[in-house]
Structure 1
Amino acid sequence: MNKNAAVLVIGLFVSSHGIAQNVMPPIGNYITEGGWGNLSIQQKKPEGIVFEIHSFGANAHSCQLEGEIRNGRATLESSDKEKPCLIDFQPSSRGVNVVPQTLQECREYCGMRAGFDGLYLKPVRGCENIDRQATKDKFKHLYDSKNYRDARLTIETLLNSCSTTLGQYELGAIRNDLAITQYHLGDFSGCLNTLEPYAKDAAMTTNDAVKDYPPADAEAYSGILDAARTNINLCHKKLRK
């Protein structure tokens, strides 16, 4: 290979690399695995492509960011005007990777125990925030009407379809809703299987189970655990008869 050809190859590599770094992420709503972060990317006029991130960490700490994305990157102000918060939005086959490039400056948008970097997944159909709420409202109407068979189908579908992107406390509430519905349908073994992830903690006192949790998380988990313990006891008693 002659010298000019070598320069041409290197030039092509650099150009293609630059293009790959500047791919714009698709419009839409995204959720992290485990439901701790939400990303919205929308087309707005005259702003262009804009984003919002809301993420949650331990003890109710959170991150909130919004701004414009240009060539796959957002530039947000920081306390140091010479050093902005730079965030890259990298499309992947599963969603969008959010990668802060100036970590210290981007930390200013977060509480101490929260972060926002990671893979935000394109949720399964029916699993976006507004769709999940509609399904839970439908379940409550069916349950309150004592239409337990349809209520079970509704909440079980939500659990099976959306478990990857559900937050841990929303997941706990859904499991409790399904378990008590199974109880009313006489499916006591199914009830216990649904609540198996909480069985070990439910065997303890709530104070012992949450003693290592920070205060806000302890309060949130206590409600899930108290309901799970009650439902587990109800189903156990029926199985003993």
Structure 2
Amino acid sequence: MSKDISPPVLLFDFDGTVSLGHGPVLAYARHIGEATGNHSIPHTAEHMLSTNDASLVHYRDGYDLVRSLAADCDVPEDSCQQAYMASRLNLADTGITAPEGLAEFLGSYPGRAVLATNSPETGLAEALKVLGLSNSFDAIYTSVGKPDGLTRILESDFPDSPIIAFGDIWDFDLAPVAARGGRTVLLETPFATPADANPTWRAQRVTDIFSELSSAF
């Protein structure tokens, strides 16, 4: 029997991985502020994100930061969820950008590229168009429910496929892949990274590692 030498599946997270910029998080914070009158929430979030405040290391990502600020103001969780969904409606207009060269790399990649995000489908198609990535992915999974939801997708849809996963949150984006022997690229951010994170590679942007990955295929 011949050995499968097909290129690995490239598995990408969305927010903070292929979609860069604080715009979506700040839109979320503004919606909370407008709905509840707690305008300190967007102001504080914007200041902390724009200055790379040292305390960001205590949060998983920008959304976790905003949720924590809202909780400190006694904003109910359902109000946060409503604000989040409202913020995704105009996701494409929040100033997001894609890593330079990503679309070109994926356009020439001989294997499959997959997008898997905890975010809803709302606003995603328009955002991918703005990012120049509308035709870059062979499959797109939304509202995944990482990490457990990602594990289920890997087991059901990619049981025997070699995987290289890209993400900015180890526990959600990468740990399920590492647990099944896949390779991982952890994007470095000012936010929290667990001490037991053990990615194959670390990078500032997904495209920073492409030359090294090409030699590993």
Q: TM-score range by the shorter chain?
A: under 0.3
Question: RCO (CA 8 Å, sep 6+): is it higher in 1 or 2?
Answer: 2
* Larger CA Rg, structure 1 vs 2: 1
Q: Structure 2 length normalisation: TM-score?
A: 0.24
- Kindly indicate which of the two structures has a greater share of residues assigned to strand: 1
TM-score, scaled to structure 1: 0.23
